């Protein structure tokens, strides 16, 4: 097995794949043209000569990592300028730009410029303000970020302490951080990279607090990069991952910005300090929902990365000898290993198609919104909240299962899996903490339940609540039957939570306290609703995709989707027993069927991850590379350690030897 | 809230605690004397002046981190020499030395000297060999580690490739690493710290392979620390945590060691090369089981660290405004937060008492073993395997839940929670990968089931299998009833798995293939057995402890244990519905009771973590310190970043400015 030669187990796996992996790649990308465009972008990124690091980033100091990341971000962004500009005007889920970003191993210090700064300008700046700022931002003449969260305030937006007080004599806002807990804390790139920043602050004018509003604020001199007087800015320190995201803090001491720093597409402050209320405040929901749509799609991608690494490694790794006279089998042949990995594979597909569905829904709702109709917004908001929460949690725990399925080697940074977990689990917290989001969906579900009881007209995602519990119908272990069962579970969970809530209210509790007391059950109801949506959307979309595909691929897509349904039916078996007509025999059947599906998917496992088509330069993994040279790569990476450059480390002479000789 | 002053929320929490925290501390330590001894050790460690780091470790490069860790390890070990020697002769679970070790933030490069090298010498060296090596090891004149795992071989011991071939002409063994995958890979301290090492290798003599045996091998010159000729040694690179553990690789090229390098307490090779078989090969199980006992106790400790940090932070942190006219509540008042945290608290106690119980069992079995009776060994082995697997998995996922319950701040390294997770999750893989261990327990359970069907006499932990399924008796939601229910679940799961296995065998599969096909269910059976053991041991021990405690503390201990039982009954509700007589009404009752227990524990939450009595210097957490100065500490730590020492980083001039000006 010399350099460049592909591991023979992987060769054998690829030979036995029953479908055309390229056909699936086109589906994943959204069409052949998209795949080609992605390849074009990847070819540009991977051929930038300046991207060679002096040593692998993980050996560098915290400061060196940042400096290295700035260098990489500048060269990558420069190379991709045309694509970036094209993307800024055509948002939506796409594999194209994500792959390009992945050329940095961890998170780039410029990430928030594109994901938050620019979208906020586009969404909240007035036309004149857009004219002033958007071209400079798109051309990256300035680098921005988005500063909302404070040291003492995250979830509760109204609790932010940073103030922007209007001074009509100079027609300026005066920004202040009145306490330590008022310091902005967390924004990526804020520490030493951005020179501009959207700051969310409490707006005071004429002695009245009008609540939080966004302001565009220059924080560093464009020429010298020195923080402007009255600005205190720096970095918040190391984290689980995001080691190069340059997350920062920011405080203001009577820092003055002109009146037009306030982003005035919606609310405004006139020259004399008169506050003009927003007419379309619901529109600001749009950006938030948009970001959650993108997160669902990101999770599909992270799962594809985790599955690619773990499945290829499991095909190369041999271990144990169940049969004395046969060689050690590939660990991918252990059914417990398949149990850990194939659900990650299936979930990646489930999240991708659900992300697409959510995007389509979002576009429809947004169109209605701009023509003044906000009727469908609550449902979109509710489904986006729970989908963000459930997909991030599943992705994090499944990526972690992928890591652990690689044994000790999955614990190595060079496997990429520890970094991937750090990036994925962060999504459980940012852009709406998961428990908080599930409780927001629960508010919608409680209302929907009351409407369902009254037999009112229901919006699509909760239509199943009508008549739930009246009659259950026979259980069916067919995919559509499982989907219906998951809806019965959701309805049952919603009903139980509502009953718990009502019981507490009847006992004399204030509604808020009753809500809190029932919140564990409300969260469970919200999760159950989300699982029902995921199952329904994934199965429906799979049937559509399978019908449009070759017979061979169609069969595989259906196996994956059925695996997903059966997996969750078994995970939620207790709820099915409580709220559906499933029998003990049905559960035994599902266990058998689950094992059967694992063995059906097994021969195509490597083909399925090959179809994700993630280049080695973007995968960053010793364990997951296309050629499967796992052990060679592990050793090659280890030998790059600066500690290995010297046979004896200086600490021996300084400490270890005196210590062993009793002379320390 | 000035420096040193305790946060007022924590003051209020401590005031309302209903029990004497010191009484509980004594129980946790195993008696007042043990607590005092621990304090003595901690006072020594925390007053070592040389332990001041130049900058916090997380800002250093990989190499600097190692050098810093060697310095710390030398000074700490020097200061604790007397305790170390005392400990070496008196093994068993104890809080005393663990706390001392925790004075290093991550894992020390000398960890394996004490946890593996020394115990192996004591367990496997002959009396003459012990005389030669043990005093030098105890005095730390030499530093050792234990090298078993290879780049290509972990779980399957018999698959190791390193060879030790006996040469009778020189009375030496010749060590070789015939392939890349034969390189030792992972041992802590091996890379640049240890100069000696126990090497597990395939013993060849007179042309016969006698299987794997341990050898004590000097790998570096004691004076110069240079690797000896024929030894290739270095480090394997960065990992999720263990950044200072100095994990290494090791290869041999015709490296010769004397005949008495082979540890000969059991098997021997005579001068002429004659191999003398071990008479008591079961004894070697002892070390392995001992280490698993210690791991269960470690998990209890890690959970106490996680719970301390997250519960104190949750008492200090205020967020959201459920009631418009009241201030933002402490997040510890949210029931969803209690749901995440109190199970970690309860599990710490559950694992501690189970670890003690396992230790007592181990001592008994060991005594029987030395007098030649190995009858009770299989049961001990089976229960140690599944307890290691389940407690590490629970600890890792609950530590992670603690981290995520602290929102964004839990993602900061300065919270200590990311490092703690890295350390805890590693235990799921080392010393027996969890799935492999659960399947080992399953082998025992399948045999036990067959004996139970035949109504044979059963060993204590599986006595519940006898007559399981014959009659179930009415469900009771009392603790003892839940424990019985968990045993019914275990019996039901074992039965289902055995039936699946038999069905596959009857269909014509080889037994090994049938085992593999049924392995997902076998793992589930093994986990269910372990949960039944944990519930039974925890509840029984709690009743005993509560009876011996003050009324106030006794009540709290029982609340925690009942919470644990109800939590797991609800988690396994589906299995209870399948395998016990529980009704839907019972489950609704358990949900109510669970919420009630959360609210009973809430006022004592801070008192319960105070009772773990973990000093700030050992907790290493900005979020969890005793005084609750959370925000001040976060900012103080951030300001130590070398990046914050300069207002403008050099990368601005080098890359960022040219990039923004289009001149890069």
Q: Is the pLDDT of residue B29 over 70?
A: yes
Give how far B318 is from chain A: nearest CA, Å.
8
pLDDT value of residue B456: 87
A517 and B430 within 8 Å at the Cβ level: the answer is: no
Q: Which two tokens stand for residue A357?
A: 């569905």
CA–CA separation, B242 vs B232, rounded Å? 22
One-letter-per-residue 3-state SS of B392-449:
HHHHHHHHHHHHHHCHHHHHEHHHCHHHHHHHHHHCCCCCCCHHHHHHHHHHHHHHHH
pLDDT value of residue B593: 97
- The DSSP call for residue B318 is B
Judge contact between A112 and A137, C-beta under 8 A.
Answer: no
Q: Is the pLDDT of residue B370 over 90?
A: no
B71 and A654 within 8 Å at the Cβ level: the answer is: yes
Q: Which residues contact A29 (CB under 8 A, 6 or more apart)?
A: A35, A38, A95, A96, A613
Q: Which two tokens stand for residue B573?
A: 């509700």
CB contacts under 8 A, B 414-433 vs A, are: 414, 418, 421-422, 425-426, 428-430, 433
pLDDT tens track for A138-182? 999 999 999 999 999 998 999 999 999 999 999 999 999 999 999
Residue in B180, B339, B577 nearest the CB of A577: B577
A631 and B180 within 8 Å at the Cβ level: the answer is: yes
B235 contacts in chain A (CB < 8 Å): 638, 641, 643-644
Q: Which two tokens stand for residue A472?
A: 């259950």
CA distances from B559 to A397, B314, B337, B546 (A): 30, 21, 18, 11
Alpha helices (H) along B507-583: 511-517, 519-547, 551-571, 573-579
Strand A196-205 relative to strand A144-147, pairing: parallel
Judge contact between B593 and B566, C-beta under 8 A.
Answer: yes
CA distances from B604 to A443, A522, B342, B598, B608 (A): 31, 25, 11, 10, 6
Percent of chain A with pLDDT over 90: 85
- CB-defined contacts A:B, below 8 A: 364
Residues written for chain A:
664
pLDDT tens track for A343-384? 999 999 999 999 999 999 999 988 888 888 888 889 999 999
Of A171, A172, A431, A543, the active-site residue reads A431
Mean pLDDT estimate for chain B: 94
CA distances from B211 to A112, B116, B178, B200 (A): 57, 21, 16, 10
pLDDT value of residue A631: 98
B321 and A159 within 8 Å at the Cβ level: the answer is: yes
**Range with lowest mean pLDDT among A228-232, B278-282, B436-440:** B278-282
Q: Is the pLDDT of residue B247 over 90?
A: yes
Percent of chain B with pLDDT over 70: 96
Residue of B nearest to A651 (CA): B67
A320 and B425 within 8 Å at the Cβ level: the answer is: no
Q: Which two tokens stand for residue B27?
A: 């129980």
pLDDT tens track for A440-459? 999 999 999 999 998 888 88
- To which residue do tokens 């051309």 refer? A139
Residue in A328, A643, A656 nearest the CB of B74: A656
Question: To probe the interface with B, which of A158, A469, A520, A526 has the most B CB atoms within 10 Å?
Answer: A520
CA distances from A82 to A331, A458, A560, B470 (A): 44, 45, 37, 73
Question: To probe the interface with A, which of B2, B7, B63 has the most A CB atoms within 10 Å?
Answer: B63
CA–CA separation, B206 vs B200, rounded Å? 19
CA–CA separation, B267 vs B259, rounded Å? 13
Q: Which two tokens stand for residue B659?
A: 């990039």
Q: Is the pLDDT of residue B108 over 70?
A: yes
Q: Which residues contact A356 (CB under 8 A, 6 or more apart)?
A: A30, A93, A297, A541
Question: To probe the interface with B, which of A7, A189, A430, A659 has the most B CB atoms within 10 Å?
Answer: A659
Q: Tell me which residue of B302, B317, B318 sits closest to B241, measured CA to CA.
A: B302
Beta bridge partners of A276: A268
CA–CA separation, A160 vs B328, rounded Å? 12
Phi, psi of B232 (to 5 degrees): -115, 115
Phi, psi of B109 (to 5 degrees): -65, -10
CA–CA separation, A144 vs A193, rounded Å? 8
Q: Which residues contact A536 (CB under 8 A, 6 or more apart)?
A: A483, A486, A487
Segment A102-126 shows an average pLDDT of 88
Q: Spell A30-45 as b/e; 16+ CB within 10 A means b.
A: beeebbebbeebbebb
CB neighbourhood size of A271 (10 A): 9
CA–CA separation, A653 vs A644, rounded Å? 17
Q: How distant is the alpha carbon of residue A563 from its chain centre? A: 23
CA–CA separation, B380 vs B373, rounded Å? 13
pLDDT tens track for B327-346? 999 999 999 999 999 999 99
Greater pLDDT, B423 or A288: B423
Segment B629-656 shows an average pLDDT of 97
Residue B3's Cβ-count burial label (10 Å; 0-12, 13-18, 19+) is: exposed
B321 and A242 within 8 Å at the Cβ level: the answer is: no
A141 contacts in chain B (CB < 8 Å): 660-661
Beta bridge partners of A205: A208
B224 and A648 within 8 Å at the Cβ level: the answer is: yes
Q: Is the pLDDT of residue A4 over 80?
A: no
Radius of gyration for the alpha carbons in chain A, expressed in angstroms and rounded: 27
Q: Is the pLDDT of residue A542 over 70?
A: yes
pLDDT value of residue A1: 37
Q: How confident is the model at residue A279 (pLDDT cuts 50, 70, 90)?
A: low
CB contacts under 8 A, A 197-256 vs B, are: 222-227, 234-240, 242, 249
pLDDT value of residue B74: 94
Count of alpha carbons within 13 angstroms of residue A309, beta-carbon side: 36
Of B431, B543, B595, B596, the active-site residue reads B431
A524 contacts in chain B (CB < 8 Å): none
Q: Tell me which residue of A621, A649, A610 sits closest to A20, measured CA to CA.
A: A610
Q: Tell me which residue of B537, B523, B514 sits closest to B440, measured CA to CA.
A: B523
pLDDT value of residue A278: 77
Segment B63-81 shows an average pLDDT of 93
Given CB atoms, is A169 within the 8 Å cutoff of chain B? no
**Range with lowest mean pLDDT among A101-110, B125-134, B405-414, B514-523:** A101-110
- The DSSP call for residue A421 is H
Q: How confident is the model at residue A282 (pLDDT cuts 50, 70, 90)?
A: low
Instruction: Quickly list DSSP for B446-461.
Output: HHHHHHHHTT----GG
Q: Is the pLDDT of residue A307 over 80?
A: yes
CB neighbourhood size of A650 (10 A): 12
Segment B495-512 shows an average pLDDT of 97
CA–CA separation, A93 vs A14, rounded Å? 29
CA–CA separation, B318 vs B303, rounded Å? 24
Q: Which two tokens stand for residue B9?
A: 């929320």
CA distances from B362 to A517, B241, B355, B539, B594 (A): 44, 31, 10, 20, 34
Q: Is the pLDDT of residue B89 over 70?
A: no
Residue of A nearest to B524 (CA): A336
Q: Which domains does chain A have, with CATH numbers?
A: 9-105+284-426 (1.20.140.10), 144-279 (2.40.110.10), 447-582 (1.20.140.10)
B644 and A588 within 8 Å at the Cβ level: the answer is: no
Judge contact between B214 and B120, C-beta under 8 A.
Answer: yes
- The DSSP call for residue A226 is P
CA–CA separation, B446 vs B437, rounded Å? 14
Does B188 show up as a binding residue in the annotation?
Answer: yes
Alpha helices (H) along B317-334: none
Does A188 show up as a binding residue in the annotation?
Answer: yes
Percent of chain B with pLDDT over 90: 85
Active site residue A541: no
B158 contacts in chain A (CB < 8 Å): 321
pLDDT value of residue B284: 63
pLDDT value of residue B1: 37
The vertex-A379 CA angle with A377 and A383, nearest 5°, equals 120
Q: Which two tokens stand for residue A98?
A: 């994500």
Q: Tell me which residue of B331, B294, B267, B384 sits closest to B605, measured CA to CA.
A: B331
CA–CA separation, B101 vs B172, rounded Å? 38
CA–CA separation, B384 vs B530, rounded Å? 9
Give how far B411 is from chain A: nearest CA, Å.
6
Q: Is the pLDDT of residue A578 over 80?
A: yes
pLDDT value of residue A20: 98
pTM above 0.80, yes or no: yes
Instruction: Quickly list DSSP for A499-567.
Output: HHHHHHHHTT--HHHHHHHTHHHHHHHHHHHHHHHHHHHHHHHHHHHHHTS-HHHHHHHHHHHHHHHHH
């Amino acid at each position: 097995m010399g350099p460049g030669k592909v591991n023979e187990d992987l060769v054998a796996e690829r030979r036995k794949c029953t479908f055309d992996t390229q056909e699936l790649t086109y589906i994943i990308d959204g069409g052949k043209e998209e795949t080609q465009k992605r390849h074009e972008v990847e070819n540009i990124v991977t051929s930038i000569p300046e991207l060679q690091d002096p040593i692998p980033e993980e050996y560098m100091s915290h400061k060196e990592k940042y400096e290295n990341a700035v260098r990489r971000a500048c060269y990558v962004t420069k190379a991709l300028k045309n694509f970036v500009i094209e993307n800024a005007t055509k948002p939506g889920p796409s594999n194209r730009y994500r792959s390009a970003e992945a050329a940095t191993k961890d998170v780039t210090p410029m990430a928030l410029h594109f994901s938050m700064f620019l979208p906020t300008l586009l969404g909240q700046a007035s036309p004149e303000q857009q004219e002033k700022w958007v071209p400079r931002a798109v051309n990256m003449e300035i680098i921005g970020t988005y500063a909302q969260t404070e040291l003492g305030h995250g979830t509760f937006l109204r609790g932010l302490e940073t103030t922007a007080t209007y001074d009509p004599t100079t027609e300026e806002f005066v920004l202040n951080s009145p306490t330590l807990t008022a310091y902005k804390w967390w924004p990526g790139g804020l520490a030493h990279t951005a020179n501009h920043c959207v700051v969310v602050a409490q707006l005071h004018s004429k002695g009245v607090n009008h609540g939080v509003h966004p302001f565009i604020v220059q924080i560093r001199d464009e020429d010298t990069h020195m923080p402007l007087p009255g600005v205190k800015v720096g970095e918040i320190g190391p984290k689980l991952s995001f080691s190069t995201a340059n997350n920062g803090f920011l405080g203001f001491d009577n820092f003055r910005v002109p009146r037009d720093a306030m982003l005035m597409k919606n609310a405004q402050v006139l020259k004399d300090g008169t506050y003009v209320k927003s007419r379309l405040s619901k529109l600001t929901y749009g950006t938030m929902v948009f970001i959650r749509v993108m997160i669902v799609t990101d999770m599909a991608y992270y799962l594809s990365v985790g599955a690619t690494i773990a499945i290829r490694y499991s095909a190369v790794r041999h271990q144990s000898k169940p049969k004395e006279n046969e060689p050690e089998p590939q660990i991918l042949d252990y059914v417990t290993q398949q149990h850990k990995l194939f659900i990650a594979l299936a979930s990646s597909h489930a999240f991708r198609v659900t992300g697409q569905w959510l995007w389509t829904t979002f576009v429809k709702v947004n169109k209605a919104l701009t023509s003044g109709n906000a009727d469908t917004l609550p449902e979109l908001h509710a489904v986006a909240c729970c989908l963000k929460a459930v997909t991030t949690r599943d992705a994090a725990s499944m990526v972690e299962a992928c890591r652990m399925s690689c044994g000790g080697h999955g614990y190595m940074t060079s496997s990429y899996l520890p970094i991937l977990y750090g990036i994925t689990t962060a999504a459980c917290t940012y852009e709406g903490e998961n428990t908080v989001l599930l409780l927001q969906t629960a508010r919608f579900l409680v209302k929907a339940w009351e409407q369902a009881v009254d037999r009112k007209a229901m919006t699509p995602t909760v239509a199943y609540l009508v008549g739930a519990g009246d009659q259950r119908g026979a259980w069916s272990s067919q995919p559509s039957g499982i989907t219906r069962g998951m809806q019965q579970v959701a309805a049952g969970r919603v009903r139980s939570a509502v009953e718990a809530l009502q019981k507490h209210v009847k006992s004399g509790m204030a509604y808020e306290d009753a809500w809190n007391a029932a919140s564990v059950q409300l969260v469970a109801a919200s999760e159950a609703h989300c699982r029902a949506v995921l199952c329904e959307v994934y199965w429906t979309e799979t049937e559509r995709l399978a019908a449009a595909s070759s017979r061979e691929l169609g069969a595989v897509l259906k196996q994956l989707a059925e695996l997903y349904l059966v997996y969750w039916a078994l995970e939620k078996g207790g709820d099915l027993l409580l709220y559906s007509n499933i029998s003990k025999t049905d559960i035994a059947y599902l266990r058998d069927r689950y094992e059967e599906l694992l063995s059906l998917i097994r021969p195509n496992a490597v083909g399925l991850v090959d179809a994700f088509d993630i280049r080695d330069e973007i995968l960053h993994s010793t364990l997951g590379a296309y050629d499967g040279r796992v052990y060679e790569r592990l050793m090659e990476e280890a030998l790059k350690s600066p500690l290995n450059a010297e046979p004896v480390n200086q600490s021996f002479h300084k400490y270890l030897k005196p210590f062993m000789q009793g002379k320390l």
